Amino acid sequence: MTALLEVRDLVKRFDTGGLLRGPRAVVHAVNGVSFELAAGETLGLVGESGSGKSTVGRVILRLTDASAGSVRFGGVDVFGLSAGELRAIRRRMQIVFQDPYSSLDPRMRAGSAVAEGLEIHRLLPSAEIPGRVAELFQEVGLDPSFSAKFPHECSGGQRQRIGIARALAVDPAFLVCDEPVSALDVSVQAQVLNLLADLQRRRGIAFLFIAHDLAVVRQLAHRIAVMYFGRIVELAPTETIIRTPLHPYTQALLSAVPEPDPARQRTRIVLKGEPPKPMAPPPGCPFASRCFHPMKNERCVNELPPLRAVGESQVACHYAEYSLQPSALSHQPSASNPQTPTPNP
């Protein structure tokens, strides 16, 4: 069965500088990203700032033009579509943004925002639109009376739900979630994450879940891809990557995630050295300047490691087979064996 989404060798360059604007430089925000996504699956895309993860989402949706590479959606070459064809296919691929405050038009009522997709694609006669909008509000857990509210009258969590309803209105098969819960309070994050999980179950939507928080991504993702400096450095099923990370960067990332249990604090890997400058990508592995792998050597500095299969995972490291054992990096359980507290039912 062909995958719903096929991304091959995606590259996005930004040119900065030039005439009167400073030295000319090229930044490769995305530098050769490939992956596939099956229908109803969630791929988590994790990375820190500057990794290029948000850009990947936008380029796939052609909200920004790619510099190179291809994206096939349902077998169709997205980059080759005309404006009209692109508009039609946009129904099936939607996006939810990070900032609930600026992702809604401040001058538009929630109901109109949600109805916009229906109007653009003429999916329903105008008499039936309010009814569908009310259904959508209920589906995202909002009372239909929210239709009349302006964004500034709603809380962050409510706005995010409105944004999700807006995306759902056109019945997409694929949803790019660009840090959808990062700007929300902890108690609201859980609500929205559960909502997304329910939507996937009910509607069979595939998600590209972009985030910097591995624990959050773990909740929804079937597979996780870790990005560093514009490339995917590791791609594996969720539990595999969390229990046995093979790439040193993934290991560092996992060890840095705060552990909400004082008795089970991990030995943290503290990265030394500076990340490479975006304008001057090194010829070899971009992580070499901070890598702590015992076998790191000249080859790493000069030769870019390709993304290759190692067991269940795909890893971009010359020495992935010789990765540090996970137990050296994982929790130090304490003698008193604390149980993580569970809420009363």
Min dist. Cβ of residue 123 to other proteins (A): 11
90 binds other proteins per the rule CB under 8 A:
yes
162 binds other proteins per the rule CB under 8 A:
no
Out of 24, 76, 80, 102, name the contact with other proteins by CB under 8 A: 102
23 binds other proteins per the rule CB under 8 A:
no
Name the strand (E) or helix (H) holding 301: helix 298-302
55 binds other proteins per the rule CB under 8 A:
no
Stretch that binds other proteins, among 35-43, 128-136, 208-216, 309-317 (CB under 8 A): 208-216
Out of 157, 180, 248, 286, name the contact with other proteins by CB under 8 A: 157
139 binds other proteins per the rule CB under 8 A:
no
Out of 189, 250, 313, 314, name the contact with other proteins by CB under 8 A: 189
CB nearer to other proteins: pick between 30 and 184: 184
Stretch that binds other proteins, among 2-10, 81-89, 132-140, 319-327 (CB under 8 A): 81-89
* Nearby residues of 263 by Cβ (< 8 Å), 6 or more positions away: 333, 334, 336, 338
SS3 273: coil
Name the strand (E) or helix (H) holding 46: strand 42-46
85 binds other proteins per the rule CB under 8 A:
no
CA distance 172 to 201: 14
Q: Compose the 326-345 pattern: x for residues touching other proteins by CB under 8 A, - for all others.
A: -----x------xxxxxxx-
Structure tokens at 186: 């902890």
Stretch that binds other proteins, among 92-100, 130-138, 292-300, 307-315 (CB under 8 A): 92-100
CB–CB of 189/223 below 8 Å?
no
Out of 3, 25, 124, 170, name the contact with other proteins by CB under 8 A: 170
Structure tokens at 248: 């040193």
Residue 333, exposed/middle/buried by CB under 10 A (0-12, 13-18, 19+)? exposed
106 binds other proteins per the rule CB under 8 A:
yes
Residue 206, exposed/middle/buried by CB under 10 A (0-12, 13-18, 19+)? buried
Q: Compose the 109-128 pattern: x for residues touching other proteins by CB under 8 A, - for all others.
A: x------xx--xx-------
CB nearer to other proteins: pick between 238 and 323: 238
Question: Phi and psi of 68, rounded to 5°?
Answer: -165, 165
CA distance 297 to 67: 32
